[in-house]
Amino acid sequence: MTSPIVAVIGGGQLARMMTPAATALGITLRILVESDEASAAAAAHETVVGLPTDPDAVQRVLASPRPDVVTWEHEHIPAEVFEACEAAGVPARPGLGALRFAQDKIEMRRRMDQLGLPNPAWREVATLADIEEFLAAHGGEAVLKTARGGYDGKGVRVISDAADARDWIESAADGGPRLLVEQKVPFVRELAVQIARRPSGDARAWPVVESIQRDGVCSEVTAPAPGLDPTLARQAEGIARTIAAELDVTGALAVELFETAEGLVINELAMRPHNSGHWTIDGSVTSQFEQHLRAVLDLPLGDTSATAPWTVMANVLGGARTDLPSALAETADPGAKVHLYGKGVRPGRKVGHVTVSGDEAESTYARAVAAAAIVRDGGAA
Amino acid sequence: MTSPIVAVIGGGQLARMMTPAATALGITLRILVESDEASAAAAAHETVVGLPTDPDAVQRVLASPRPDVVTWEHEHIPAEVFEACEAAGVPARPGLGALRFAQDKIEMRRRMDQLGLPNPAWREVATLADIEEFLAAHGGEAVLKTARGGYDGKGVRVISDAADARDWIESAADGGPRLLVEQKVPFVRELAVQIARRPSGDARAWPVVESIQRDGVCSEVTAPAPGLDPTLARQAEGIARTIAAELDVTGALAVELFETAEGLVINELAMRPHNSGHWTIDGSVTSQFEQHLRAVLDLPLGDTSATAPWTVMANVLGGARTDLPSALAETADPGAKVHLYGKGVRPGRKVGHVTVSGDEAESTYARAVAAAAIVRDGGAA
């Protein structure tokens, strides 16, 4: 049989976790990895070593047999890559017309405003005076962000004094990333909703989840979000559907949301499989990785139902240890699904995750957190 | 972190389906494949091209960095491979002491008799007179088998006249495989039970399944076996536990059983992941492929609970078509989990399977069979 070829730019754990789904579906995954040591390198069906900024490497990704489609596992894709895809006649999904809203937070906020979707108060800032003005109008505290390049808490700073922004303002004036400030949203908790959309328009969402962040990094995700008002759940899915359709997103889209006393507020967008959707590997009929591949190939989308009443995903972050214990040997919980990313351990770096499904939310959460701690720190015994 | 290395001899779909579990667990899978076109070749983390009968290829599998363990995806493993593993100090699991009972049906029947486990009437045969005698004593019909080398209906022949055995008898006299005859068991249906066992002794079984064969090849598997008497289910698991422990099986063991009006009768053994356990990928907390890897690495075994009331697996056999349709594009059922093996299509060859889970046995079965037919033959639309 002819095997579809999907090219993926970026060799981190998101590309790595696409490979099991690709293998099952008979899809060949050709991954542009930064090095042979990249998380996705050994798992890939075919690898090209290089960076997306290297035109030769991009040409090798597009070489014959040509991929059916090119997709991304991160947003840091130069416009030249899209041009190379177009020249080669290979569709790039999501396209730059969509991805730029995930690349640039100012573009994103502006577009959400145009669509009438719930933004926090925000503005682009270029001077300390701009920031002072915003702080004065919003209770003396705000979130300063670089428009581009941020992730996992990087490129984000909570400020209560314009002077705290001096270095970034100077950098922006010097050609560095543009800046925006956002109201510090008084949220009850953080939610996320995942959806995937085909070029032909069909889209399917997963149940809305609760996401717990620690130090700006996703720590645990509970699916579905416990006790979520069904009206808010429908509203969250509606926001995701609107963004996917109006921005012409193809593939996976994650919308991170704040739940406040007044309703939902959009936090961030990601146009790729996302940490808040890792639970779907073990907790949904169709994982976000399989669905992303189906969507970018314009194949029918799979069922997004949960397979258990509760599923909790807990990230494993590298601690002070320089190597991980044999995670399985020490994880006493036989129902804990362990996912390791094959990455060197550095403090705070995401090196794996653990998923547990169960019939009751609190005990399932406790099991997932306990198993992740053992994977990270080793067993107490 | 240090990544355990598991070497697998054989590059078919069973090795291919070990790779997603290995990727998740951070295990490096080094597979001895017959060719670059083998089902497991693209999916493997590392490949060695060669046959298990080629000592050089086996040495490359055992080369530094040495695998932590060597395992098999089929039973046709020469004794020299076990010797090479021993010389290299690499454990072979299951070992030859266990595997020979899956390699040789005469050895197997003899051992089952010794253990007091339920065999059909059987005997080794070397002459046409031996066969005539057995036929006369067992209603004029019997199943003739080669002791070695059979699979998927090959090496098995139903006979009602000794003359039907003449070619095999002559071949056996000429140094070909030895033969046995077995009573043709008047079964109600066929069952199978999967278990995995660690070298340290711990073993976990999955729910007993019903297996439907067509032309000697597994066609569908329903988990759990509908309406199975709980006493028989416990007995089936007990048989698997006894065999695993007494034969010192490490890794996955499948016991195929006949359910008769008088109880259970052992049909065949396989010491590896088995077609009757493919449902566990989508229908159990721990798949047989993950469990096999855990077991041969002597890691704690995972939970073998089913994740849905019913799961049905339907094989996709190559038909007259010489290429498969884009299976996903035409499989309208969003809950059908499609698994393709990346193999060329030949009539009757297993080229993939489809799994469906549901709340009701009959409709789940119908969905799985319908989806498999569409993958095989293309959509009607």
Domains for chain A: give ranges and CATH numbers: 5-92 (3.40.50.20), 121-183 (3.30.1490.20), 187-377 (3.30.470.20)
Does residue A139 surpass a pLDDT of 70?
yes
The kind and range of the H/E element at A118 are none
- Among B51, B46, B81, B82, smallest CA distance to B64 is for B46
d(CA A317, CA A324): 10
pLDDT tens for each residue of A15-67: 999 999 999 999 999 999 999 999 999 999 999 999 999 999 999 999 999 99
Out of A42, A340, A345, closest to residue B45 by CB: A42
Set of chain A residues whose Cβ sits within 8 Å of the Cβ of B19: 19-20, 23, 43
Average pLDDT, chain A: 93
Residue B347 CB-density burial (10 A; 0-12 exposed, 13-18 middle, 19+ buried) = exposed
Could you tell me the two tokens for B137? 């004593």
In terms of CA atoms, which chain A residue is nearest residue B41? Answer: A45
User: What is the amino acid identity at position B129?
Assistant: A
Q: What confidence tier does A1 reach under pLDDT thresholds 50, 70, 90?
A: very low
CB A313 within 8 A of CB A219: no
DSSP string computed for A362-376: HHHHHHHHHHHHHHH
Taking the CA atoms of B328, A91, A15 and A233 in sequence, report the sign of the dihedral they define: negative
Is the CB of residue A351 less than 8 Å away from at least one CB of chain B? yes
Q: What confidence tier does B329 reach under pLDDT thresholds 50, 70, 90?
A: low
CB–CB contact B357 A285 (8 Å): yes
Out of B1, B19, B305, closest to residue A23 by CB: B19
Residue B304: phi, psi to the nearest 5? Answer: -105, 15
Residue with tokens 């032309």: B215
- How many Å lie between the alpha carbon of A336 and the closest alpha carbon of chain B? 8
CB B291 within 8 A of CB B311: no
pLDDT tens for each residue of B216-227: 889 999 999 999
Instruction: State the average pLDDT over residues A355-381.
Output: 87
A-facing residues of B in 13-32 (CB < 8 A) are 16, 19-20, 23-26, 28
Neighbours of A108 (CB within 10 A): 22
Could you tell me the two tokens for B325? 């349709």
Could you tell me the two tokens for B90? 């690499």
Three-state DSSP state, B205: strand
Q: What confidence tier does A381 reach under pLDDT thresholds 50, 70, 90?
A: very low
CA distances from A278 to A122, A288, A317, B151 (A): 30, 7, 15, 39
CB–CB contact B300 A42 (8 Å): no
Reported residue count of chain B is 381
d(CA B195, CA B181): 27
Q: Is A164 left (phi over 0), alpha (psi -120 to 50) or beta?
A: alpha
Annotated binding residues of A for ATP, as ranges? Answer: 105, 145, 182-185, 190, 267-268
Neighbours of B128 (CB within 10 A): 16
CB A332 within 8 A of CB B300: yes
- How many Å lie between the alpha carbon of A328 and the closest alpha carbon of chain B? 7
Q: What confidence tier does A334 reach under pLDDT thresholds 50, 70, 90?
A: very high
ipTM of the complex: 0.93
- Cα R_g (chain A), whole angstroms: 21
CB B160 within 8 A of CB B123: no
Three-state SS sequence of B330-377: HCCCCCCEEEECCCCCCCCCEEEEEEEEECCHHHHHHHHHHHHHHHHH
> What pLDDT, on a 0 to 100 scale, did the predictor assign at position B325?
55
d(CA B164, CA B150): 18
- Among B355, B256, B253, B240, smallest CA distance to B308 is for B355
- Among B34, B13, B42, B11, smallest CA distance to B340 is for B13
CB B6 within 8 A of CB B293: yes
> What pLDDT, on a 0 to 100 scale, did the predictor assign at position B380?
44
Q: What confidence tier does A317 reach under pLDDT thresholds 50, 70, 90?
A: confident
Set of chain B residues whose Cβ sits within 8 Å of the Cβ of A16: 23
Does residue A264 surpass a pLDDT of 60?
yes
Q: What is the bridge-based pairing of β-strands B310-317 and B350-358?
A: antiparallel
The kind and range of the H/E element at B45 are none
Instruction: State the average pLDDT over residues B127-137.
Output: 96
In terms of CA atoms, which chain A residue is nearest residue B330? Answer: A300
Taking the CA atoms of A376, A381, B5 and B11 in sequence, report the sign of the dihedral they define: negative
Is the CB of residue A36 less than 8 Å away from at least one CB of chain B? no
In terms of CA atoms, which chain A residue is nearest residue B45? Answer: A42
- Among A61, A105, A108, smallest CA distance to A81 is for A61
B-facing residues of A in 43-102 (CB < 8 A) are 43, 45-46
CB A178 within 8 A of CB A275: no
Sheet holding A69-72, edge to edge: A46-49, A28-33, A5-9, A69-72
In terms of CA atoms, which chain A residue is nearest residue B338? Answer: A25
pLDDT tens for each residue of B80-116: 999 999 999 999 999 999 999 999 999 999 999 999 9
> What pLDDT, on a 0 to 100 scale, did the predictor assign at position A375?
81
